[in-house]
Amino acid sequence: MIDPQDITGLILAGGRATRMGGSDKGLQNFRGMPLALHTLMRLGPQVANVMLNANRNLSAYESFGVEVWPDSMPDFAGPLAGFLTGLERCETPYLATVPCDTPLFPADLVARLAEALEREDADIAMAAAPEEDGQLRTQPVFCLLKHALMESLVRFTHEGGRKIDAWTAQHRTAIVAFDQPQDDARAFFNANTLAELHRLEQSP
């Protein structure tokens, strides 16, 4: 089994948050504390250490007590830019990525991704969760990556690639379904607007 001590966690908080009026999404309040801090508290026990990818308000994120790294690529280049930053700074064999706007993600996320990565001899393990229609949909920002993929991602991004699915399709990927009876149906609900955030906050 992959040892959690061999996994670094990365919180992705580097987006523009255009659907939230340009506010820094990770710093929006959720149940009394910033979204990204909720994410840190949920991810921290699952991995050896956590770092955060952000492009604004770096000192605010640093106050959480973690290393904060901006994109090494310009112009808010999207989640893959965060992946690349994480892989460049990662000192463990594996990197687990989660976004800052999904505070209820599973407490066993990393363990289940790691089990599938090893079982299927994959390079990437990616979560999938059911939509309202019951169909499983991949959640590509919830990933466990081998650090050895950094060279591939450098090449892909330097050639202008920006889409996660296009890059992960180049590698053996294990899809992990979070659709068991004990799985929270809201686990992968991400708050893109303030209204969605308030609705999630008020859910039981």
Give the pLDDT confidence of 73-118 residue by residue, as tens digits. 766 568 899 999 999 999 999 999 999 999 999 999 999 999 999 9
- According to DSSP, the residues that pair with 51 across neighbouring strands are 10, 67
Is the distance from CB of 102 to CB of 39 less than 8 angstroms? yes
Tokens describing residue 152: 């591939």
pLDDT at 68: 97
pLDDT at 73: 74
Q: What predicted TM-score, i.e. pTM, was given to this entire model?
A: 0.93
What structural domains does the chain harbor?
A: 4-202 (3.90.550.10)
In the chain, the N- to C-terminal Cα span, in Å, equals: 35
Residue 70, pLDDT > 90, answer: yes
Give the separation between CA 58 and CA 62, rounded to whole angstroms: 6
pLDDT at 74: 66
pLDDT at 19: 53
Residue 127, pLDDT > 70, answer: yes
pLDDT at 197: 84
pLDDT at 16: 60
Q: Beta strands of 45-110 (E only): which ranges?
A: 49-54, 67-69, 94-99
pLDDT at 23: 74
DSSP assignment letter at 119: H
CA atoms in the 13 A half-sphere facing the CB of 133:
3
Q: How many C-beta atoms surround the C-beta of residue 90 within 10 A? A: 20
Give the pLDDT confidence of 1-44 residue by residue, as tens digits.
899 999 999 999 987 655 555 678 899 989 899 999 999 999 99
Grade residue 201 by pLDDT with cuts at 50, 70 and 90: confident
Give the pLDDT confidence of 145-171 residue by residue, as tens digits.
999 999 999 999 999 888 999 999 999
CA atoms in the 13 A half-sphere facing the CB of 199:
9
Please give the average per-residue pLDDT across 55-61, as a whole number.
93
